[in-house]
């Protein structure tokens, strides 16, 4: 087991820059998830760690050893691909033993490790059998149905808790990232937007992109102008809507801002109790929760409740945001106002 150091790593395909100087440190035994939308560069970064893509600039170290010029077989890593690349003419045992045969391991070692790995987990058997310093996972669950994906998510996390092997996991599914990671690296357009624990990213997003990407349903955003008077702070939005904000928030008078509140951080109140008027468009009962979609200041928002509300389309309700967990972002830069 080993740490992974990614320092100033860049990648270009011809004149097109796709990775723009990324710095990430992954500690020994840590499970780190690279997450972001399609095309953000997360799989390319993972393939550079694996040695399957040449880096254009920067340095990658595994266990304190610079591996920039080492072939994949000499990096002491094991990789699970999105497509499992099983050999149909081989038995399960032979597929699992294949990587050890490539390394010219003796028969006794192969038999021992295949048996041990088969007892742990069949799906990742060929990777586990190598007993590498680092596991690399490239969206291994994306081809599974929803129920099996949840089951395998739990199994992989339990496997890491048992083996404690340093792991780097790529996914575009932020729910996978939130439930599996020790830390998450949020990527966008070949850059790192924020690194942190799942709950840190959820509670304290650095910018609009992270706030909108982490969390399901996504955070609601409403544009407006920041105002202060008589000890009160609020955001004036379209159609005369006034959104309450915390007194200690940064930002200047009249500044263009984006008001953010998560769906689960709003409650229904009676008219005249400080709530924001919202016109219901759709109600989605899921059993455990009720999703209410509504219009506020010309923006569609989503609110999630434990209660089983049965609002009618076009009904006006009043939603009260929980001030302590609202967010304000600078409209020009997208950065959070601290």
DSSP category for residue 254: T
Q: What is the pLDDT of residues 199-211, one digit of tens each?
A: 999 999 999 999 9
Task: For residues 201 and 210, give the distance between their C-alpha atoms in angstroms, rounded to a whole number.
Answer: 7
Locate the domains of the chain by residue range. 4-213, 220-330
| Residue 233 CA: distances (Å) to CA of 242, 246, 299 | 10, 6, 21
The predicted structure's pLDDT at residue 87: 63
Q: What is the pLDDT of residues 102-149, one digit of tens each?
A: 778 888 888 787 776 665 555 455 556 567 899 999 998 887 788 888
The predicted structure's pLDDT at residue 120: 54
Written as six digits, the tokens of 71 are 């072939």
Which strands make up the sheet holding 31-35, listed edge to edge?
77-80, 134-138, 166-171, 31-35, 183-188, 191-196
Q: What is the pLDDT of residues 276-295, one digit of tens each?
A: 999 999 999 999 999 999 99
If one compares 118 and 161, the residue with the highest pLDDT of the two is 161
Written as six digits, the tokens of 75 are 């990096």
**How do beta strands 31-35 and 183-188 pair?**
parallel
The pTM of this model reads: 0.85
Over residues 47-51, mean pLDDT: 96
Nearest to 218 by CA among 183, 265, 171: 265
Sign (positive or negative) of CA dihedral 16, 185, 258, 272? positive
CATH superfamily of 4-213: P-loop containing nucleotide triphosphate hydrolases (3.40.50.300)
What is the pLDDT confidence band of residue 38, given thresholds at 50, 70 and 90?
Answer: very high
Task: For residues 260 and 299, give the distance between their C-alpha atoms in angstroms, rounded to a whole number.
Answer: 12
The domain defined by 220-330 folds into OB fold (Dihydrolipoamide Acetyltransferase, E2P) (2.40.50)
Over residues 326-332, mean pLDDT: 97
Mean pLDDT of the chain: 90
Q: What is the pLDDT of residues 66-106, one digit of tens each?
A: 999 999 989 999 888 766 566 677 776 777 777 777 778 88
Q: What is the pLDDT of residues 226-272, one digit of tens each?
A: 999 988 999 999 999 999 999 888 999 999 999 999 999 999 999 88
């Amino acid at each position: 087991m080993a740490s992974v150091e990614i320092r100033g790593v860049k990648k270009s395909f011809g004149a097109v820059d796709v990775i723009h100087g990324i710095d990430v440190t992954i500690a020994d035994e840590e499970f780190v998830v690279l997450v972001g939308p399609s095309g953000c560069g997360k799989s390319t970064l993972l393939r550079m760690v694996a040695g399957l893509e040449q880096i254009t600039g920067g340095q990658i170290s595994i266990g304190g050893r610079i591996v920039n010029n080492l072939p994949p077989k000499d990096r002491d890593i094991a990789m699970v691909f999105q497509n499992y690349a099983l050999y149909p003419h081989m038995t399960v045992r032979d597929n699992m033993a294949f990587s050890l045969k490539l390394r010219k391991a003796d028969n006794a070692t192969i038999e021992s490790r295949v048996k041990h790995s088969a007892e742990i987990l069949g799906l990742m058997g060929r990777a586990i059998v190598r007993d590498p310093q680092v596991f690399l996972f490239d969206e291994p669950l994306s081809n599974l149905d929803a129920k099996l994906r949840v089951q395998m998510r739990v199994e992989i996390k339990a496997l890491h808790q048992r083996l404690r092997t340093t792991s780097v996991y790529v996914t575009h599914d932020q729910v996978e990232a939130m439930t599996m990671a020790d830390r998450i690296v949020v990527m966008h357009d070949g850059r790192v937007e924020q690194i942190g624990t799942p709950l840190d990213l959820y509670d304290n997003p650095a910018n609009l992109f992270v706030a909108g990407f982490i969390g399901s349903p996504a955070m609601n955003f409403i544009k407006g102008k920041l105002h202060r008077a008589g000890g009160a702070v609020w955001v004036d939005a379209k159609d005369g809507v006034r959104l309450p904000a915390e007194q200690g928030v940064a930002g200047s008078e009249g500044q263009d801002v984006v008001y953010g509140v998560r769906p689960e951080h709003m409650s229904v109140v009676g008219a005249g109790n400080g709530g924001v008027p919202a016109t219901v468009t759709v109600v989605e009962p899921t059993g455990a929760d009720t999703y209410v979609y509504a219009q506020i200041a010309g923006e569609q928002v989503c609110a999630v409740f434990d209660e089983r509300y049965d609002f009618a389309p076009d009904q006006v309700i009043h939603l009260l945001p929980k001030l302590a967990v609202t967010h304000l972002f600078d409209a020009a830069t997208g950065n959070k106002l601290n």
